[in-house]
Structure 1
Amino acid sequence: MTDTTMVRDAGALLAQAREELWRAVCERDEFAAGRAVFAALDEGADAEDVLLDVIAAVQHKVGAEWAADRFTVAQEHAATAIHERIIAAMAHRTPAAPPSATAATVTVACVDGEWHALPARLLAEVLRHRGHRVDFLGAQVPTQHLMAHLHRTAPAVVALSSSIPTRLPTTHTAITAVQAVGIPVLAGGAAFGADGRYARLLGADAWAPDARAAAGLLARGLTRPSPGAVRQTVEDLPHLSDQEYTLVARGKRRLVRGTLAGLEERLPAMRAYTDAQRERTAEDVAHIVDFLACALYTDDSALFTGFLDWTGGILEARRVPAQVLDPGLALLQEELKDFPRALDFLSLGRAALRRRGTRPPAPGPDDDV
């Protein structure tokens, strides 16, 4: 058998496993999902390929289906739970590789407030299969608890994962604390941007777009920072001196209350909202304030406009026009009239929504495509 034939057979094996796993998670059948994965392993598929090219690929498709309103939140959570249990079963079924010459002890953790643990879990398993010793701390690790763990275990590297950009200020705190004890930080996850720009902005020692790239970086080695060294100063983030981030973040409750009161006054239909509808509206406004604050922290308007554009797409998939967000943005402009950067970001956000209004509507779940 030629190498080309082997590659083609491996690709076909992974494609079949993806198809069977996708069908199983759609039917919420954990046992069928396990059979799909373990059959591929039994037929010679590499464990790392199964983790990333089967499980991670199907999970990505689950997220895309939710965004398109073809999966409910409950279906998405069920699929994630199935994947987590299969990964755990794989960990006991496929032995870890023996330590290599470049093996390191790595702590993998999600930053405080980050509940999306599956990307970090996938990284932990890939590193284990590459011969590293891994402590996987899971989701939502408060920085003080992370630091207590590091003082006890002294790993060579900390890999921090975050999927939601609103966690970036907290991530910055964690990065600084870890580096202060002389441990380099490898950042990964969607929160850091497709090109890793926010990892660089916040002073991480390295950034990787995926688990394979992260493993490659570890194989080449990361330079340990000097304990107690100050990696960043206020001069590195001069925009924070205007206090806009701090004031918006601390004033979140007031901003949400003021915006909701203004919406009721300007949109009489809101007065007939149920308690559940009011709660969802308050959550939507709170998300807008969170992303605005994060954009102020990074001084990147694209973070805010990108969130609004993404949210507009989610709404339109549910046959709700993205422009429903505009009155809330207009009211926030009034609330933040003395905040020049915030006003600028809000104006750019409203313009992004207007541009969405010129696009043809996305097909709904029951439309013919």
Structure 2
Amino acid sequence: MTAPATATDPVDAYPSYLGCLADADEYAAIDVALGLLDAGVPAERVLLDLVAPAQAEVGERWARNEWSVAQEHAATHISEQVVAAVSLHANPRPTGGRVVVACMDGEWHALPPRLVAEVLRLRGWQVTFLGASVPAAHLVSYLHRHDAHAVALACALPMRLPHAHRMIEACRRSDVPVVVGGRGFGVDGRWARRLGVAWAPDAPTAAGLVADERALRRVPPAQLSHLADDEYASLARRRGELIDSALADLRERVPAVRAYTAAQLDSTVSDLSHVVDFLAAALFVDDASLFTEFVQWLTGVLASRRVPAAVVDLPLAHYAAALRDFPRAVRTLTLGRAALTAAAGR
């Protein structure tokens, strides 16, 4: 499969490129991208108007249960190869300082920050891309060995926000300004503002901030005084206990769970863990919408796999009972159950 010979715009080439991803045809996908470059389309547009939206659609198809995890992984790998081919074709020479781009510790969605790294490289920066799940200590050690102009950190999942805060503060102690991006900070950057860090909704904005060090450093302080109530810290300490007790409760209330295969059991434990982690993140930033949005998303994903909403509600009720002495947690879980009811009723 190849792009139409007349395609000189990423929007026109998009259906063909998405088809290449669906067919797991790496060479044809690269041909689509390089064909656009040969037609005079700037490399930045190929990355942002072709690769990025196609990858977003890949994620949506997985969420709708139209594509398996294997198909999603194959498509992501192909897009990574396309990005590499576009970068090699453009082959820009650095004229600016070093910018370090990395994913938060525990964050494995590396393609979006890779796109940011390539846009920065196209705009003349010397870019070091550290990839997925970079431990804070390793990032700081790298910064101490190399003179970085700025650090760009990516977070796709809001449950990683507590880790994000620690990484941001570690970079600042090294006197390196930080810009963050990704859905993990909210579609409008609300949780980045709560953490007191510059936020970019897209790669061009990130590049603009990196070029303006004053703007990077001119951010209001973090708004985390609510952490004094110790709810987040206490919940984090009880994480394992809560997950184990929720699984035991499910086995008691839903007999079918007792007959789950190892794979089904692993998936259930993963979902229970995510509920606790998203709840903890909501407490960390003191914003219940973080949790309710997750519940709505999880309900949709499970519904596409024919899993009833009641299976989500039982753990929420269990966690609310177990955390009855935590008023912010109980309020957040109550709102989450209301969001679940509303999502299931649509």
Instruction: Give, in whole Å, the separation in 1 of the partners of 2:215 and 2:336.
Output: 40
Instruction: Give, in whole Å, the separation in 1 of the partners of 2:99 and 2:94.
Output: 15
Give secondary structure in 1 for the equivalent of 2:176. coil
Residues 315-326 of structure 1: pairs in structure 2 closer than 5 A: 315-326=302-313
| Deviation at residue 97 of structure 1 after TM alignment | 5.1
| Deviation at residue 321 of structure 1 after TM alignment | 2.7
Amino acid at match of 1:208: A
The answer to whether 1:123 aligns with 2:119 is: no
Equivalent residue in structure 2 for 1:330, among 317, 326, 338: 317
The answer to whether 1:148 aligns with 2:141 is: yes
Identity percentage of aligned residues: 48
- CA change 1:141–1:98 in 2 (3 A) is closer
The answer to whether 1:311 aligns with 2:298 is: yes
| Deviation at residue 331 of structure 1 after TM alignment | 1.0
The answer to whether 1:291 aligns with 2:257 is: no
1:32 is matched with which residue? 28
8 Å contact from structure 1 (residues 304, 349) kept in 2:
yes
The answer to whether 1:353 aligns with 2:340 is: yes
- CA change 1:211–1:223 in 2 (3 A) is closer
Instruction: Give, in whole Å, the separation in 2 of the partners of 1:118 and 1:312.
Output: 26
Equivalent residue in structure 2 for 1:110, among 79, 103, 107: 103
Deviations 1:91-150 (A, max 9, x none): 222121552xxx332111111111111011000100111111111111111111101111
Instruction: Give, in whole Å, the separation in 1 of the partners of 2:172 and 2:331.
Output: 34
| Deviation at residue 181 of structure 1 after TM alignment | 2.0
The answer to whether 1:339 aligns with 2:316 is: no
| Deviation at residue 224 of structure 1 after TM alignment | 6.9
2:161 is matched with which residue? 168
Deviations 1:195-219 (A, max 9, x none): 1111111121x11000011112223
| Deviation at residue 319 of structure 1 after TM alignment | 2.8
8 Å contact from structure 1 (residues 308, 352) kept in 2:
yes
8 Å contact from structure 2 (residues 227, 284) kept in 1:
yes
- Runs of 5+ consecutive residues of structure 2 not aligned to the other structure: none
The answer to whether 1:62 aligns with 2:62 is: no
Instruction: Give, in whole Å, the separation in 2 of the partners of 1:268 and 1:280.
Output: 17
Deviates more, 1:136-145 or 1:264-273: 264-273
1:217 is matched with which residue? 209
Equivalent residue in structure 1 for 2:200, among 177, 197, 208: 208
- Runs of 5+ consecutive residues of structure 1 not aligned to the other structure: 1-8, 360-369
Instruction: Give, in whole Å, the separation in 2 of the partners of 1:322 and 1:132.
Output: 48
2:231 is matched with which residue? 244
RMSD: 2.0
| Deviation at residue 12 of structure 1 after TM alignment | 5.0
Equivalent residue in structure 2 for 1:42, among 18, 38, 41: 38
Instruction: Give, in whole Å, the separation in 2 of the partners of 1:253 and 1:269.
Output: 23
Give secondary structure in 1 for the equivalent of 2:41. coil
| Deviation at residue 245 of structure 1 after TM alignment | 0.8
The answer to whether 1:300 aligns with 2:293 is: no
- CA change 1:191–1:224 in 2 (3 A) is closer
Instruction: Give, in whole Å, the separation in 1 of the partners of 2:213 and 2:176.
Output: 12
Amino acid at match of 2:324: K
Instruction: Give, in whole Å, the separation in 2 of the partners of 1:212 and 1:337.
Output: 45
8 Å contact from structure 2 (residues 104, 163) kept in 1:
yes
8 Å contact from structure 1 (residues 10, 45) kept in 2:
no
Deviates more, 1:289-298 or 1:269-278: 269-278
Instruction: Give, in whole Å, the separation in 1 of the partners of 2:290 and 2:191.
Output: 10
2:72 is matched with which residue? 76
8 Å contact from structure 2 (residues 14, 50) kept in 1:
yes
8 Å contact from structure 2 (residues 8, 39) kept in 1:
no
Task: Give the count of matched residue pairs.
Answer: 341
TM norm structure 1: 0.88
Instruction: Give, in whole Å, the separation in 2 of the partners of 1:120 and 1:60.
Output: 13
TM norm structure 2: 0.94
Instruction: Give, in whole Å, the separation in 1 of the partners of 2:18 and 2:7.
Output: 16
8 Å contact from structure 1 (residues 179, 225) kept in 2:
no
Residues 269-284 of structure 1: pairs in structure 2 closer than 5 A: 269-284=256-271
